Structure 1
Amino acid sequence: MMENSQLAMSQALELWSIKCFIVLAEELHFGRSAKRLNVTQPTLSQQIRKLESHFGVQLFIRSTRSVELTPSGETFLPLARESLIKLDEAVLLSKLAAGGMSPGGEQLKIGAINPAVHRLLPLILRRFRKRFPETRLDVRIFDSSEILRALERGDYDIGIMRPPSNGNVIRFSPLVSDRFVAVIPKQSSLSSRSTLRLSDFVGHDVFTLDRFELSSFRSIHDQVVDAGITLDPGIKVSNTTAALALVAAGLGITFLPEWIEGIVGRDVVLRKVDDLCQEISIGIAWRADNPMPGILPFVEYAELVARQK
């Protein structure tokens, strides 16, 4: 009995070490990785050393200024991701079976915001449809406020959206968060800078997105103004795509969530700002009293995909 207990503990530690490896491989920064994992940097270092000792190979090249994957680490990364994906899905399917949650031929109506289309939604739909092919999916892309109203009316079953300011009967589970980055015209003198702080933008043409119904955009506006940056009064924009067009035209600099990395053109560069740590989240929302059998399995799959991001 003691041997079985020790084996289970050893396996749990190895799984945790693999999770630490994946996060560090994604971030290539001990501080950011430790924050994501909610551990201290020494604890993270210990887990990586334990994994390297177990395999007998070096997975990372560390220096005082950088962290890089070795060829062994690059080879191991996709295999490590796949092993955790399979384990998580096995646990999920066991959980769904135990709870009697088995979607059938019903139709799930899903509303999603545009950022989700570029990150989460395809991954969720692919995995859910593979497991539950008989469930019909009706997907529409629209704004968070519209999705919230559609959920409250019962017109839609699931929303992939920003956090609602007023929950009422709506349940919400955060999935992923994006840090805000500076969106800079390529011809700007700031586009070639490797490190930036808010004070560097003083004297440049800057505008912010007018989305004050979302607390993160309100916070960005306030931080920019508090840093002494004068905003361009001649620009008012509340749409991400329109903001990108203005930057691409060279009309100014703005700050947007980093998901836009997948849609920016050649005339725009993205830069992290050291003292701008604001984040904005995307999550999944549904009515607590909606009896549709496919909702909770879809939520579970969404959370599974988010854990693997």
Structure 2
Amino acid sequence: MPRVIVDCAMYRDGRRSQAPKDFSDALDEARAGGDAFVWVGMHEPTEKEFEHVSQEFGLHPLAVEDALGAHQRPKLEVYDDSLFVVLKPVMYDEATDTVTTGELMVFIGDSFVVTVRHGEGAALAAVRHRLEHEPEVLKHGPTAVLYAVSDAVVDHYIEVAAELQSDLEELEAEVFAPNVTDTKNTAARIYGFKRQVLEFRRATSPLLQPMDRLAFGSVPFVHDHAQPFFRDVADHLTKANEYIEGLDRLLSDALAAHLAQMGVRQNDDMRKISAWAAMAAVPTMVAGIYGMNFDHMWELHQRWGYPVLLVIMAVMCLGLHRMFKRRGWL
């Protein structure tokens, strides 16, 4: 088998069994029994590597093109012989405060499941392992796999949203700290955080409509009795979207508060500068009048003219300082 095939197995009555090496034989055997299906998991296949699988399972060319090209929005497409679902798993790196998204495509049809994964995250080994320990769930066939994969992806959305909420609380504490000097870095962090939330929203918001179709509509290759389970996934997805909308609003409020604080600080600085400039203007004015090379000064020939003038300037400066201090300018 190609190296991109991470796992391939046949499941009969909810229990794993060795699948034939040829996909056609495996599919025929699964359909003949009526209680079995084949699950093929792939990671970043090339067009040539995926061609054999797509031909054997009869996958639609448009869905195959989407699965190979990646960079798709979450969606659900119904074709004659298969159902195609695109999910975008989300990963959050606390060290760099970045949200990254992978892509996960799921094909389900008559007695088969094909999953195609792009990116480093969203490995399905844990989902497969959990399902293999729940044969009562797995015996429901491809529908159970689609539910388990969707549930795992959406539940991780909530975990990532909780981590973002924790980091946002730290950022808010920094914004409202009394002595923040590096205002440029704070504003840059807020903008960067908003970009991560936007990336998160691109993964979750478009998935609402596909989950609603699975939860409340009749979709081919999905059992109607699975609708309550997909409704649970849709409910968790709604919760995740509410988390994200709340984060976005809080970030906007934090940015507005930060800009307001910067304006207040600038006003305080301007008042202080104006106060010191006013105090410096007094001796400058007096010195400008009496700074000529006259004899003793103070209306020319008075011996105590200079000392008296210096005292007057000091008194005026102290008076201005006291007035500005009383008004809160200093």
TM-score range, shorter-chain basis?
A: under 0.3
TM-score (norm 2): 0.21
Structure with the bigger percentage of helix: 2
Larger radius of gyration: 2
Which structure's relative contact order is higher, taking Cα pairs within 8 Å and 6+ residues apart?
1
